[in-house]
A and B are shown apart, each in its own frame.
Chain A
Amino acid sequence: MSLTLAVILAAALCYAGMAGLCLGMDRHHSQVWKAKAPNRQRLLRVAGWLLLALAVWPCVQIWGAAVGPVVWCGMLSVGAFTLVLLLPYRPRVAALLAAVAAGVGLPVLLLSAG
């Protein structure tokens, strides 16, 4: 895995993961969808945690077991900041971006790991 790819993957997965956790909450779910959807919200939360956990992988690949988690922590903050700045202005774009980040990031992660 190249450095650039790892940075993009970690950022994409952290952003998508944070978006999952966020949109799974009632308050933020209603910013994108009109009606409550408990099943979808639960799915979003689970997917969010999973994506955040997966984001550790590219970090550890490049930076090793000691520095990797530090980079991951920084990436978590950056992902969350991006989301929090985007969400109130363009909630649908924020959700769409998360879907794209997860949809492209996951296959790329699997390919690079395999």
Chain B
Amino acid sequence: MSKVQSGAAEGGFRQAMAWLHTWGGLWACWVLFVIFLTGSLGVFDEPITRWMKPHLPQASEATGDTRMGDGFDRPQAVRMARTWFEENQPDAHFWGIGLPSDEDPSIRLFWQDPQENFHNARIDASTGNPVDGSRERDSEGGHHFVHMHFEFHGGTAGIWFVGAFTMAMLVALVSGIVIHKRIFKDFFTFRPGKGQRSWLDAHNALSVLSLPFQLMIAYTGLATFYALYMPAGIAAHYDSEEAYFADLLAQPAAQEITGIAAPLAAFDGMLLHAEQQLQRPASFVSIEHPNDSSASVRVFGRFIEKPGEYRLLGDGGGRVFFNGVTGEQSDVQMPGELRGGAAQDVQSVMANLHFAAFGGHLVRWLYFISGLAGAAMLATGALLFMVKRRQRSLNEFGSATPRVYRVIEVLNVGTLTGLTIACVAFFWGNRLLPLGIADRPEWEIAVFFAVWLLSVVHAGLRPVARAWVEQLLALAALCLLLPLLNWLTVGDQLFSYLQRGDGERAGVELVALGTGVLSLWGAWRLTRPRRAPAAGRQRAAAAQARS
């Protein structure tokens, strides 16, 4: 191939990539913005959960107590849980017991009924009676954001949905690198106040400066669900995914229900045996097929995040498997023990890299910042698309072009500010919904979706410039008044948290306040008087682009 030809081909390639980046990025950017914003919030799911559940104790400095005697009688807890299950759910196919700890001093019960539906309840660890939840703030807490992030509350279909958009993200990242002609020359370039130029600068700087994170987080997100996204190899060799994992990790295979009744062995004996083996307190006990001859019991060791010891692999709490009927140990996996070979280890490292739980608070903050940078990259990209076309329509859709542009504008407002408003509204819902109502956590999530929908409708009814300002102001109000709402409903706020040294709950309100100030600033930027036309065509265009 001659030089001239390859040069032309390169230009064509770059143009093709520019088309791919623009349109491939556009259709995916709103969903990806949701994934990035909720994922960033999900990094702090535990602090958010604690803020939403004021009855939970403050996070202790040294998380994950290794001492056996931490003040909770775990053998008694499993006996109480069993009594409750035998009396209330003898026919369930699965029982799960969350053991009391500093994080939650009650016993949490989970079960799967014969119709395969999951349920949960809590009992008091000292009396064995059901916890009276009517005075507590029952809530999904920060897990709501995590579930939005990876499945949009849509189960397996949701995971596929998110996976498809993550692929689109990778395509947009790679095509973006190809079309960015001056990555290194423009590495530090940001020229504010210049309209379209500034949006492009911001989009480039946000993407380039956090590119390692963006590539890593998209790829490891896909790698986490490899067994779901690439099922063919497993399906060709195994009856089920469980059989594959049991074989891979050399664990006892799942048993079919036999229908032959057989009483379970004593739980407390298995628990004590497991804790002695693992040399740490247990956190969870699960029972498959209780009171069937196929019953099996697993005891999980507590996950311990040791300050000063950070690793990407082998940080599990360990687990011990028992035959549920005889009570004999069938397998033990020690804390930190690796199984499944090098490929499985690589996959575990990738999953751990994605989950941000490997390096303490600082790593969480770095992920939070980088995730928000990703969200901002998507937001600036979406805005840039319209800023470019607001000056002069490119007529991509013939006579329908204005209508398509209008839809894009509405989706921009309804997602960028609308979703953010919905996220804050979720916190408001937690404080304002009455206590003791049935399915309270679901109602909180309903508030989230309802407010998001309202924001989209609002964006659709208002002129776009007004919609931006109004939603930014609404967002600012919800964020800045959150500590006040907390003080009125629960009696706590930023300062009382800080006084008690509760950095997690204080952090939630500080982030809210910061967001509020930023959106107030954004609203002010959009409404301040325009510069006089004499100031030059470029400035006027910039001001117009900003509106």
Contacts and interface: CB of A to CB of B under 8 A. Distances in A.
Interface of A: 3, 7, 18, 21-22, 25, 27-28, 62-64, 66-67, 70-71, 73-78, 80-81, 83-85, 87-89
B366 A81 contact: no
Interface string B175-207: 000000000010111111000000000000100
B188 A77 contact: no
Nearest to B353: A70
Contacts of B313: 66
Task: Pick from A22, A74, A83 the residue with the most CB of B within 10 Å.
Answer: A74
Given A81-B373, A87-B190, A88-B190, A7 B310 contact: no
Given A7-B362, A70-B353, A89-B192, A77 B311 contact: no
30 contacts: A3-B362, A18-B188, A22-B187, A22-B188, A25-B188, A27-B185, A27-B189, A62-B310, A63-B310, A67-B310, A67-B358, A67-B359, A67-B363, A70-B312, A70-B353, A70-B358, A71-B359, A73-B213, A74-B366, A74-B370, A77-B209, A77-B212, A77-B213, A77-B369, A77-B370, A78-B366, A78-B369, A80-B187, A81-B373, A89-B192
Contacts of B359: 63, 67, 70-71
Interface in B347-392: 353, 358-360, 362-363, 366-367, 369-370, 373
Interface string B314-340: 000000000000000000000000000
Q: Summarize A's interface: helix, strand, loop or mixed.
A: helix
Interface residues on B, range: 20 to 34
Interface string B156-169: 00000000000000
Contacts of B277: none
Given A75-B366, A77-B213, 20 more contacts: A3-B362, A7-B362, A21-B187, A62-B310, A64-B309, A66-B312, A66-B313, A67-B359, A70-B359, A71-B362, A73-B213, A74-B366, A77-B212, A77-B369, A81-B205, A81-B373, A83-B188, A84-B190, A84-B205, A85-B190
Contacts of A78: 366, 369
B310 A84 contact: no
Contact of B311 (A64, A81, A85): A64
Contact of A74 (B188, B192, B367): B367
A29 B360 CA distance: 38
B210 interface: yes
A51 B465 CA distance: 45
A77 B213 CA distance: 9
A74 B311 contact: no
Contacts of A89: 192
The 5 closest A-B pairs by CB, nearest first: A74-B366, A67-B310, A22-B188, A80-B209, A63-B310
